[in-house]
Amino acid sequence: MKQDRIISAILMGLALSAILGLSLIAVFVFKEGVPIVLRIGARDFLLSAEWNPKEGLFGIRSMIVGSAMVTLGAMLIGGTFSLGLALVLTQFAPPRLTHVLKPVIELLAGIPSVVYGFVGVQTLVPFIREHLGGPGLSVLAASIVLGIMVLPTITSISVDALQAVPRSYWEGSIALGATRWQTAHRVMLRAARSGIIAAVILGMGRAVGETMAVIMVGGNTLAVPRGPLDPVRTLTANIALEMGYATGAHREALFATGVTLFVFIMILNTVALAVSRRRSSGAAFR
Amino acid sequence: MSPRPIVLERIVVALLWAVAAMTIGVLLFIVGFILLRGLPHVSWQFLTESPQKMGREGGILPMIVSSALVAGLGVLIAAPIGVATAVYLTEYTRGGRVTAVIRFGADCLAGIPSIIFGLFGFVFFAITLGLGLCVLSGALTLAVMVLPTVIRTSEEAIRAVPDAYREVSYGLGSTRWQMVTRVVLRSALPGVVTGVVLSLARALEETAAVMLTAGSALRMPSSLLDSCRVLPLHFYLLAREGISMDKAYATAAVLVIVVLAINFLTYRLMRRFIGKAGQYV
């Protein structure tokens, strides 16, 4: 029994390394990034649109606006399409087709993000430049590429949520004379709601945090984007583009950009965890 | 006046099918596009030679080796820690505050963007610990990054082991440790391996975090403390700086094939594992 206690202690020590990792990340990124925010003032850092490291001007408004626009666009595109796909796979497609397609979609979640970005540059960017105007490298291009990237994640989790709805709900609705579409959106979607919301929030986190694909199709200019055809630089792109050569206050400002991102992601995570916890406690009632 | 339900049904279902077909079409187009343009430039020489003139000529051998080293080492570090965490969470505690805290930590870690792992790895492993931009810094950063994946998949695999196995093991007089190592882990092994391989695929495709911690040197790394350039980063630099589009496509094709092959393999493993477990229960 003494041996059991020792093993248990060792395992607990190893298990705490996830917490240790999280704390180290928070401590080191904050330690590097927070001082400069205090020096400049959080208001100026977050709200000024002047980013000029040579002049010592560090304002990230254009990146915050850029990240928000791109993420919103990605969720509109990715969310709509994955929801449609999930509904087809669970409510309308023959089971055998779903059986083949779901793993195919999950396989595609593994395509490296640089590859998504590259295909975007080669096909989507010239298309937007020629048919819609602007430089092509734009909020729209970044939103579409990110929307496609988060598709597999959102679809796969939404399919799981829809499949977890008890069969009797579907049977009850059909027996009452509802059409399949009425059943799908008034019964199944509503019953799977919290799972789908969790999936969308998870996809949103991925979209906000994505770096390489956005650098490739976004255009990376420093101006605040005014419309979907304007080029854009996100928070993540700002860090990845300039980290290679930044020193001193410039590097601190990039870490501060990371802190902004970190805080935003933690808020998203907490909301997602709360939603999915509500889902699992709801499941206990069934 | 709204359309009759049955008409609406037809319209909506047709629309949904169009959306689904478009989505699958786009995803398959991306893979096909890369393979069609890249595969013609992939040859034995390309895979086994060093790059010349910044990658304009020659092959990608050092990047293949670097990717294997950084991702392989990262997963090798994360796997034992992750499996131990999963064993602790499933076999040694039942609820409680410690479990809640550990699970919260793993969930949060899973949501952090890779660029932040990069910032952390850069300031912690490369600067504070003095390792510099090198294979080891990159591997340690990736280890922290894939840890939650290993924990979650191992946990699921261990939970899938029927309680009857544990009861029989205890009934035969084994200690908890014997039960865990000889019964639970043995029957959960395929699931655990699947999780580890899946995190290997994730580590192989990671670009941003590795760029900030392992550097981008073109030459073959001669030790773990050498700077190196992984495959996805090489591809990114070739494409972005317009060094050579043919080589960029070829590198992308190699990357896509490796990652899809690993994912496919894990999928098959998982199917077999689930089928087998079903047989015994």
Alpha-carbon distance of A218 to A222, in angstroms, equals 11
Query: How much is the pLDDT for A279?
Result: 56
Instruction: Give the chain A residue whose CA is nearest to the CA of B176.
Output: A4
Chain B contacts of A116, Cβ < 8 Å? 30
Alpha-carbon distance of B150 to B269, in angstroms, equals 16
Query: How much is the pLDDT for A100?
Result: 84
Interface of A with B in 155-214 (CB under 8 A): 155, 179-182, 202, 205, 208-212
- DSSP E strand boundaries for chain B: 51-52, 57-58
More confident residue, B50 or B2: B50
A113 part of contact set with chain B, CB < 8 Å: yes
Instruction: Give the chain B residue whose CA is nearest to the CA of A26.
Output: B120
A47 part of contact set with chain B, CB < 8 Å: no
| Residue A206 near residue A113 (C-beta atoms within 8 A) | no
Query: Distance between alpha carbon A52 and the CA centroid of its chain, in Å?
Result: 28
Write phi, then psi, for B58 (nearest 5 degrees).
80, -160
Write the pLDDT tens digit of every residue in B159-179: 888 999 999 999 998 888 999
Write the pLDDT tens digit of every residue in B256-267: 999 989 888 887
Interface contact flag, B19 A152, Cβ < 8 Å: no
Alpha-carbon distance of B216 to B196, in angstroms, equals 26
Write the pLDDT tens digit of every residue in B234-252: 999 999 888 888 899 999 9
End-to-end CA distance of chain A: 40
Query: How much is the pLDDT for B112?
Result: 92
Interface contact flag, A212 B236, Cβ < 8 Å: yes
Of B19, B107, B114, the CB nearest to A81: B19
Chain A contacts of B119, Cβ < 8 Å? 29, 32, 239, 243, 254-255, 258
Confidence of residue B280 (pLDDT cuts 50, 70, 90): very low
As given in the structure block, the two tokens for residue A174 are: 């059909």
Alpha-carbon distance of A204 to B194, in angstroms, equals 26
Q: State the number of CA atoms in the 13 A half-sphere of B269 facing the CB.
A: 18
- Which residues, in sequence order, are CB contacts of B252 under 8 Å at separation 6+? A114, A115, A118, B34, B38, B235, B239
A5 part of contact set with chain B, CB < 8 Å: no
Interface contact flag, B119 A243, Cβ < 8 Å: yes
| Residue A168 near residue A240 (C-beta atoms within 8 A) | no
Alpha-carbon distance of A57 to A253, in angstroms, equals 10
Query: How much is the pLDDT for B274?
Result: 57
Question: What's the mean pLDDT when you consider all of chain B?
Answer: 88
Interface contact flag, A7 B177, Cβ < 8 Å: yes
Alpha-carbon distance of A50 to A29, in angstroms, equals 23
Interface contact flag, B84 A122, Cβ < 8 Å: no
Tens digits of pLDDT across chain A (286 residues): 788 889 989 999 999 999 999 999 999 999 999 999 999 999 899 998 889 998 889 999 999 999 999 999 999 999 999 999 999 999 988 888 888 888 888 877 888 899 999 999 999 999 999 999 889 899 999 999 999 999 998 998 899 999 999 999 999 999 999 988 889 988 999 999 888 988 898 899 999 999 999 999 998 999 899 989 999 999 999 999 999 888 899 999 999 999 999 999 988 888 877 877 765 544 433 3
| Residue B122 near residue B213 (C-beta atoms within 8 A) | yes
Architecture of the CATH domain A36-283: Orthogonal Bundle (1.10)
Other CB atoms within 10 Å distance of the CB of residue A250 = 16
Alpha-carbon distance of A155 to B217, in angstroms, equals 38
Q: Report DSSP letters for A130-144, one per residue.
A: HHT-S-S-SHHHHHH
Residue with tokens 């590795």: B210
H runs (alpha helix) in A49-191: 61-87, 95-108, 113-119, 125-131, 139-163, 167-175, 180-182, 189-191
Query: How much is the pLDDT for A93?
Result: 87
**Residue B103: which of B113, B87, B89 has the closest Cα?**
B89
Burial class (CB within 10 angstroms; exposed 0-12, middle 13-18, buried 19+) of B17: middle
| Residue B74 near residue B201 (C-beta atoms within 8 A) | no
Q: At what angle do helices B97-111 and B135-159 cross, to 10 degrees?
A: 130
Interface contact flag, B113 A85, Cβ < 8 Å: no
Query: How much is the pLDDT for B125?
Result: 95
Cα–Cα distance list, B71 to B108, B113, B145 (Å): 22, 17, 11
As given in the structure block, the two tokens for residue B266 are: 């894990």
Structural domain boundaries in chain A: 36-283
Other CB atoms within 10 Å distance of the CB of residue B187 = 19
Task: Give the ipTM.
Answer: 0.89
Interface contact flag, A110 B111, Cβ < 8 Å: no
Query: How much is the pLDDT for A283?
Result: 41
For chain A, what is the largest distance between any 2 Cα atoms, rounded to a whole number of angstroms? 74
